[in-house]
């Protein structure tokens, strides 16, 4: 099984971001650290957000694909990560 | 299922001259990076962005059979495109070329600069994450989408109109959304413009008139953007147009309704609060569209159900009290933000007495008093007693360059103070004594220093010092300005019949909401933020959304026009092929409901 690399796009004052952050921390624990999460503050790294065409935060990209904008359900997020893990 | 082929990543560490190499041990960084999973090749180069640097990257891609590339150097907004293009030349898709910033920890002057040991540690972490990300990244499929041959321009001032006319002349359908009932923006209120002292409406009117009749331009006045979804090439925009209560198709702009209206209120826009208008009004003579509008908050019919005199006076039958807000949906390929600025309201600077003393006005109010179409028909009269002022003191940097208000320099106030001093001296009240109290006179711009000298030569008096207080003599309503002249080191008390405050330019109300709707950022001052302050001053972090004019930061008319043309050029560059290649994820993302910040 492959590791999964998750980019979590946030900004200061974002209402939905803490919920997504908590979910990802939980999933990272569940999968024993094999989910690598990078938090990107779009105010500091605008070009990464621009490369995905992100117009709103929170947003989540998994292994280079933007999969969620807004707050996803925990189940959807978990399924997306599992999907990436079983790909190979 | 066959195992995924392990990617071959090339890592290029840039010295950036001494900017990076001088602040951390790059060889140690190279050495420690060699063992990272996925890394097939590591090297350093003095300047990766140089022709030689790019040639080396391209050579390594081919020679080492690399399929992904990471450059560790400067900010991605500076050079990501450079390395994506370089990789593409050598056969790597742009999405598999990345640039990460390690220079922020080493470059002299960088706020994040740390000691060499810590810089190495931070750079290791950055590189490690970038390699991990690149190794696991799956190819993002690209899809072709239609690029709508239409644009939205938000703001109908000089910048927005310039951009709109440019795009419309190139053949795009342009929708201009303006919050006020007329286009023209701040420039329509200026009377004259520096450095030529042209009459502002005289050079603005040809543009507003052309925009009004242009077959490719739709003007949506009294309207605001409510929501924007989608992506470059295919933004879906919802606009709400407030009712005018006048049918613009039948209104002839004759003004009979205005004459009949019994309700007189203060005109805060065209008379800058110094004169009246009616509850039904035509903003000004050259207004476009030249149609009446009813101010429902002050109209007697809307307040207590009586009157309707305008309706009786209108022979065309254009008055329509039943109009409702109209929601308009548009599909556009690009959006240009040209929402301009507002003049800082200086009441908070209590030491200058604005709002308390009737003869303390702002430069925008002075412009209206000087205008032959203004509330005094061009006669410069004191608001309290209608007398001509014999002494005028102008105070610079009110709310600008001021840590208690706005720290930035608004850039245009020195020049408009000089302009007004010239106009008063040459055309209005030649005998009136004018003092300008300044911290620094800032006049960069073509012909501007000469303009400053000419003002001095006219006998305008300059005092190097920022006044500490303005006091009023209750019996005459004249003012006393206390200032220390720093050149002679002496406190002065200047008698003034009129005090004029040169106030900061500030972002207009609603900027925060618009930034949320568009997904673009604002800077610390509240103006919309460009992608890079030096190299990408027109783009935003949302592809297809561009900035121009004072929406991006205080600027004068020539600079606004320049940026408007640049924004139009960017929009044209994106849309002209008729289709756009986008990551499939980006197109999919628009279908997902937003629920974020």
Give the angle subtended at the CA of B514 by the CAs of B200 and A23, to the nearest 5°.
160
Nearest CA in chain A to B84: A51
B297 part of contact set with chain A, CB < 8 Å: no
**Is the Cβ pair B597, A57 closer than 8 Å?**
yes
B519 part of contact set with chain A, CB < 8 Å: yes
Class of domain B342-506: alpha beta
What is the band of A60 on the pLDDT scale with cuts at 50, 70, 90?
A: very high
Using alpha carbons only, how large is chain B's radius of gyration in Å?
29
Contact criterion met (CB below 8 Å) for B328 and B381 = no
- From B133, B585, B597, residue closest to A5, measured CB to CB: B133
Q: Write the CATH number of the domain with boundaries B150-242+325-341+507-584.
A: 3.50.50.60
B337 part of contact set with chain A, CB < 8 Å: no
Question: Which is it for the CA torsion B230, B235, B236, B242, positive or negative?
Answer: positive
Q: What is the CATH number of the domain that holds A25?
A: 3.40.30.10
Positions of CATH 3.50.50.60 in chain B: 150-242+325-341+507-584, 342-506
Helix, strand, coil abundance in chain B, percent, nearest 5: 30, 25, 45
Gap between the Cα atoms of B33 and B42, Å rounded? 7
**DSSP of B250-309:** T-----HHHHH---EEE-SSTTTTSSEEESEE-S-TT-SS---EE-TTT-HHHHHS---H
Angle between helix axes B413-423 and B363-370 (nearest 10 degrees) is: 30
How does DSSP classify residue B104? G
Angle between helix axes B158-169 and B557-575 (nearest 10 degrees) is: 40
**Run of H or E residues at B559:** helix B557-575
Q: Length of chain A in residues, anyone?
A: 88
Beta-sheet pairing, B334-337 with B545-547: parallel
B77 part of contact set with chain A, CB < 8 Å: yes
Residue B356, both tokens: 């308390």
**Is the Cβ pair A46, B541 closer than 8 Å?**
yes
B132 part of contact set with chain A, CB < 8 Å: yes
Residue B543, both tokens: 């592809």
Gap between the Cα atoms of B129 and B235, Å rounded? 33
Mean of per-residue pLDDT scores for chain A: 85
Contact criterion met (CB below 8 Å) for B505 and B342 = yes
pLDDT at residue A86, as a whole number: 74
**Is the Cβ pair B521, A46 closer than 8 Å?**
yes
**Is the Cβ pair B596, A38 closer than 8 Å?**
no
Beta-sheet pairing, B234-241 with B223-231: antiparallel
**Is the Cβ pair B136, A2 closer than 8 Å?**
yes
- Enumerate the residues of chain B whose CB falls inside 8 A of the CB of residue A47: 75-77, 80, 531, 541
- From A2, A66, A70, residue closest to B595, measured CB to CB: A70
Nearest CA in chain A to B94: A51
Gap between the Cα atoms of B304 and B233, Å rounded? 48
Is residue B241 classed as helix, strand or coil in its secondary structure? Answer: strand
Contact criterion met (CB below 8 Å) for B47 and A14 = no
Gap between the Cα atoms of B367 and B192, Å rounded? 8
3-state helix/strand/coil string of A30-78: HCCCCEEEEEEECCCCHHHHHHHCCCCCCEEEECCEEEEECCCCHHHHH
- From A15, A63, A71, residue closest to B138, measured CB to CB: A63
Q: What is the pLDDT of residues B83-105, one digit of tens each?
A: 999 999 999 988 899 999 999 99
Positions of CATH 3.40.50 in chain B: 9-139
Site from A56, A61, A81 to mutate, B interface, most B CB atoms within 10 angstroms: A56
Give the angle subtended at the CA of B294 by the CAs of B289 and B297, to the nearest 5°.
140
Strand partners, B281: B293
Residue A4, both tokens: 């999964």
**Run of H or E residues at B151:** strand B150-154
The total number of structural domains in chain A stands at 1
**Run of H or E residues at B569:** helix B557-575
- Enumerate the residues of chain B whose CB falls inside 8 A of the CB of residue A45: 76
Give the angle subtended at the CA of B399 by the CAs of B424 and B349, to the nearest 5°.
95
Residue B232, both tokens: 């470059």
Is residue B334 classed as helix, strand or coil in its secondary structure? Answer: strand
> Would the pLDDT of A42 be above 90?
no
Question: Is the peptide bond preceding residue B195 cis, with omega within 30 degrees of 0?
Answer: yes
**Is the Cβ pair A5, B136 closer than 8 Å?**
yes
């952050």: which residue's tokens? A21
Gap between the Cα atoms of B147 and B21, Å rounded? 44
Global pTM exceeds 0.90: no
- Enumerate the residues of chain A whose CB falls inside 8 A of the CB of residue B4: 2, 87-88
B581 part of contact set with chain A, CB < 8 Å: no
């002065």: which residue's tokens? B492
A24 part of contact set with chain B, CB < 8 Å: no
Contact criterion met (CB below 8 Å) for B503 and B415 = no
Residues of chain B falling short of pLDDT 50: 1-3, 590-597
Alpha helices in B298-371 (DSSP H): 300-304, 309-313, 363-370
How does DSSP classify residue B424? I
A11-15, A28-32, B297-301 — which one is most confidently predicted on average? Answer: B297-301
Residue B136, both tokens: 């696991």
Beta-sheet pairing, A59-62 with A65-69: antiparallel
- Enumerate the residues of chain B whose CB falls inside 8 A of the CB of residue A52: 583, 585-586, 589
Q: What is the pLDDT of residues B173-224, one digit of tens each?
A: 999 999 999 999 999 999 999 999 999 988 899 999 999 999 999 999 999 9
Using alpha carbons only, how large is chain A's radius of gyration in Å?
12
Q: Does domain B9-139 have CATH number 3.30.160?
A: no
Establish whether this prediction's ipTM goes over 0.90: no
Gap between the Cα atoms of B218 and B197, Å rounded? 31
**Is the Cβ pair B542, A43 closer than 8 Å?**
no
Beta-sheet pairing, B478-485 with B469-473: antiparallel
pLDDT at residue B96, as a whole number: 92
Beta-sheet pairing, B342-343 with B505-506: antiparallel
B81 part of contact set with chain A, CB < 8 Å: no
Alpha helices in B19-169 (DSSP H): 26-33, 51-63, 76-89, 116-136, 158-169
Contact criterion met (CB below 8 Å) for B281 and B384 = no
Q: Where in the sequence is the domain holding A49, given as residue range(s)?
A: 4-85
Cβ neighbours of A76 (radius 10 Å): 12
Nearest CA in chain A to B536: A47
Q: How far is A68 from chain B (nearest CA, A)?
A: 7
A36 part of contact set with chain B, CB < 8 Å: yes
């Amino acid at each position: 099984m492959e590791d999964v690399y998750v980019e979590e796009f946030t900004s200061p004052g974002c209402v939905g971001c803490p919920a997504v952050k908590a979910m990802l921390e939980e999933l990272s624990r569940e999968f024993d650290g094999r989910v690598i999460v990078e938090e990107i503050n779009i105010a500091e790294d605008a070009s990464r957000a621009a490369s995905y065409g992100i117009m709103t935060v929170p947003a989540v990209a998994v292994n280079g694909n933007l999969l969620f904008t807004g707050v996803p359900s925990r189940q959807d997020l978990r399924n997306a990560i599992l999907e990436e893990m079983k790909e190979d | 299922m066959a195992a995924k082929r392990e990617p071959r990543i090339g890592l290029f560490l840039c010295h950036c001259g001494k900017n990076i190499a001088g602040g951390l041990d790059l060889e140690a960084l190279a050495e420690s990076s060699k063992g990272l999973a996925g890394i097939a090749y590591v090297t350093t180069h003095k300047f990766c962005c140089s022709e030689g640097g790019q040639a080396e990257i391209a050579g390594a891609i081919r020679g080492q059979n690399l399929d992904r590339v990471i450059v560790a150097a400067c900010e991605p907004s500076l050079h990501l495109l450079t390395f994506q293009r370089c990789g593409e030349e050598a056969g790597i898709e742009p999405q598999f070329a990345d640039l990460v910033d390690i220079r922020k920890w080493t470059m002299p002057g960088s706020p994040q600069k740390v000691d060499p040991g810590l810089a190495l540690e931070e750079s290791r972490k950055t590189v490690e994450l970038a390699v991990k990300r690149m190794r696991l990244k799956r190819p993002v499929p690209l899809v072709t989408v239609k690029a709508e041959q239409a644009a939205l321009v938000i703001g109908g001032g000089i910048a927005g109109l310039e951009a709109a006319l440019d795009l419309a002349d190139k053949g795009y359908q342009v929708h201009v959304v303006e919050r006020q009932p007329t286009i023209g923006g701040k420039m329509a209120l200026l009377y004259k413009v520096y450095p030529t002292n042209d009459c502002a409406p005289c050079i603005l009117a040809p543009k507003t008139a052309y925009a009004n009749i242009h077959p490719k331009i739709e003007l949506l006045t009294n309207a605001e953007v409510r929501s924007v979804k989608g992506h470059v090439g295919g933004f879906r925009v919802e606009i709400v147009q407030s009712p005018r209560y006048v049918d613009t198709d039948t209104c002839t702009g004759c003004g009979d309704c205005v004459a009949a209206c019994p309700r007189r209120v203060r005109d805060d826009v065209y008379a800058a609060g110094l004169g009246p208008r009616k509850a039904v009004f035509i903003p000004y003579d050259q207004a476009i569209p030249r149609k009446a509008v009813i101010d429902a908050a002050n109209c007697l019919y809307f307040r207590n159900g009586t009157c309707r005199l305008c309706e009786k006076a209108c022979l065309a039958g254009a008055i329509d009290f039943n109009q409702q807000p109209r929601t308009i949906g548009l599909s556009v390929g690009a959006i240009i933000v040209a929402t301009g600025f507002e003049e800082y309201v200086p009441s908070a600077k209590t030491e200058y007495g604005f709002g308390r003393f009737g003869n303390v006005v702002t430069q925008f109010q002075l412009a209206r008093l000087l205008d032959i179409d203004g509330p005094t028909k061009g006669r410069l009269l004191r608001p309290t007693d209608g007398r001509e002022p014999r002494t005028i003191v102008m105070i610079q940097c009110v709310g600008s360059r001021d840590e208690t208000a706005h720290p930035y320099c608004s850039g245009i106030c020195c020049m408009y103070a000089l302009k007004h001093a010239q106009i008063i001296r040459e055309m209005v009240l030649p005998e009136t004594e004018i003092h300008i109290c300044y911290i620094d006179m800032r006049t960069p711009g073509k012909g501007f220093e000469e303009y400053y000298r000419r003002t001095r030569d006219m006998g305008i008096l300059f005092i190097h010092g920022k006044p500490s207080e303005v006091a009023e003599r209750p019996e005459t309503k004249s003012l006393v300005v206390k200032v220390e002249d720093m050149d002679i080191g002496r406190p002065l008390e200047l008698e003034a019949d009129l005090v004029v405050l040169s106030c900061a330019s500030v972002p207009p109300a609603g900027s925060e909401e618009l930034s949320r709707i568009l997904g673009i950022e604002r800077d610390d001052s509240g103006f919309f933020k460009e992608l890079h302050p030096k190299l990408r001053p027109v783009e935003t972090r949302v592809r297809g959304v561009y900035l121009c004019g004072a929406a991006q930061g205080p600027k004068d008319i020539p600079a606004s026009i320049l940026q408007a043309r640049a924004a139009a050029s960017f929009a044209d560059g994106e849309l002209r092929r008729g289709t756009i290649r986008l990551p499939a994820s980006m197109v999919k993302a628009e279908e997902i409901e937003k629920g974020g910040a």
